[in-house]
Amino acid sequence: MAEFEPKIVAFVCNWCTYAGADLTGTSRIKYASNVRIVRFPCTGRIDYMLLLKAFDEGADGIIVSGCHPNDCHYTSGNFHARRRWIMFRSLCDFTGIDTERIKFSWVSAAEGAKWADIVNATVASVRELGPYSEYKKVAKYPEREVSHG
């Protein structure tokens, strides 16, 4: 059986982390190809429901990343996002959703290397955790997979 390849979805802001990931590219720093980036204007725009949707659809891990505090292009979107994450994480933890599968980070446009590190670390830790089968079971994920071969 092939080694488990985690599916990682990254929700990033346009101005810092997306640009940071661009810099990773420009700097030709290699990282695991398991991650797929979804671009948002700002972390403030990231709806917590989208994180759940990613798990619904079979993601094994999630990265949420934006500008460092005080560096937000929109001055305070990331502060608002952070407060939401605090409560969202707390609720996830309380309901038993695996918060170890959701990595939050600040990656600036200058931190190309940090982006590669974040991705690699997330892929490694999710690989360790294995497929998120508890959630997939509730989301009837495998059933969907096999129903039409």
Partner 1 sequence: MVDLIKRAKELIESSAVKVVIGYENGTGNRTRALFVEKTEDADKLIFDSRCIQNLAAYVTKREVKDKGKMAIAATLPVMRSIIQLASEFQVNDNNLLVLGITPESKLIEFENLVEVETFVHQYQIEIDARNKEMLDRLDNMTKAERWKFWIDELAPCFKCYACRAACPMCYCHRCTVDFNQPQWIPVPSHELGNLEWHIMRAIHLTGRCIDCDACYNACPLYIPINLLTKKMMLDAREHFGGYQPALKGEHLMSTYKPDDKENFIQ
Partner 2 sequence: MSKIGVFVCHCGENISATVDCAKVAETVGNYDGVAFSVDYTYMCSDPGQNLIKSAIKEKGLTGVVVASCSPRMHEPTFRKACAEAGLNPFMCEMANLREHCSWVHDKGEATTEKAIDLVRILVEKVKYNHSLNDIKVPVTKTALVIGGGIAGIQASLDIANTGHKVILIEKDPSIGGHMSQLSETFPTLDCSQCILTPRMVEVAQHPNITLYTYAELESLEGFIGNFKAKIRKKSKSLDEKLCTGCGLCTTKCPVKKIPSEFNEGLGKRTAIYVPFPQAIPNKPVIDRINCTYYIKGKCKVCEIVCPTKAIRFDQEDEIVEAEVGAIVISTGFTVKQPDFFPEYGYGKYPDVITGLQFERLASASGPTLGEIRRPSDGKVPEKIVFLACAGSRDPAKGIPYCSKICCMYIAKHAMLYQHKVHGGKSYVFYMDIRAGGKMYEEFVRRAIEDDGVNYVRGRVSRIYEKNGKLIVSGADTLLNAMPVEIEADMVVLATAGVANEGAEELAQKLHISYDPYKFFAEAHPKLKPVETNTAGIFLAGACQAPRDIPESVAMASGAAVKVAGLFSQDELTREPIIAVVNRQAAPVYSSCVGCFLCVSACPYQAIEKEEIKNRNGEVIKSMAKVNPGLCQGCGTCVAFCRTKSIDIQGYTHEQMYTEVMALLNEY
Partner 3 sequence: MNIDKRLVRKDSLEKLFDILKQNSKKIFAPSTKNGKISFRDAEKFSGIVTGYVQTSQSSKEVAFPRTEKIFDYSKSKDGMSVKGIDLKDIPEVILWGVRPCDATGIGELSSVFNWDYKDEIYNNRLSKITVFGFSCNNSDEYCFCTSVGGNPGNTEGSDILFTQTGENSDYLAEIITEKGLAIVSLAPDLFEITNNIEKNKFLAKVPVRFNHEEIKEKLDKFFESKEWIEQSLRCIGCGACAYVCPTCACFDIQDEAHGRKGSRVRCWDSCGFSHFTLHTSGHNPRDVQSQRWRQRIMHKFSYMPERLSVYGCTGCGRCSRACPVDMNILEHLISIQEVTV
Residue type (1 letter), 99: T
| Residues 6 or more apart in contact with residue 113 via CB below 8 angstroms | 24, 27, 29
Q: Does 91 bind partner 2 (CB under 8 A)?
A: no
Closest approach, Cβ 4 to partner 2, in A, equals 13
- What tokens appear for 124 in the block? 């490694």
- Interface with partner 2 in residues 11-30 (CB under 8 A): 14, 18-19, 21-26, 28-30
**33 contact choice in partner 1, partner 2, partner 3, none (CB below 5 to 8 Å, kind-dependent):** partner 2
Inter-residue contact 98 to 134 (CB < 8 Å): yes
> Using CA atoms, how far apart are residues 40 and 16, in angstroms rounded to an integer?
11
Q: Which stretch binds partner 3 (CB under 8 A): 12-20, 33-41, 114-122, 141-149?
A: 141-149
Which tokens go with 70? 């005080």
Residues 102/112, Cβ–Cβ less than 8 Å: no
Residue that the structure tokens 């969907």 belong to: 144
147 binds, among partner 1, partner 3, partner 2, none (CB under 5 to 8 A by kind): partner 3
* Residue 85 contacts partner 1 per CB under 8 A: yes
With contacts defined by CB under 8 A, name the span among 37-45, 93-101, 121-129, 130-138 that binds partner 2.
37-45
DSSP class of residue 85 equals H
Which listed residue (57, 100, 128, 134) binds partner 3 by CB under 8 A?
57
No. of H helices and E strands in the chain? 6, 4
Residues of the shown chain interacting with partner 1 in the complex, contacts defined by CB under 8 A: 48-49, 52-53, 56, 69-70, 76, 79-80, 82-99, 103-106, 118, 134, 138-140
Residues of the shown chain interacting with partner 3 in the complex, contacts defined by CB under 8 A: 57, 144, 147-148
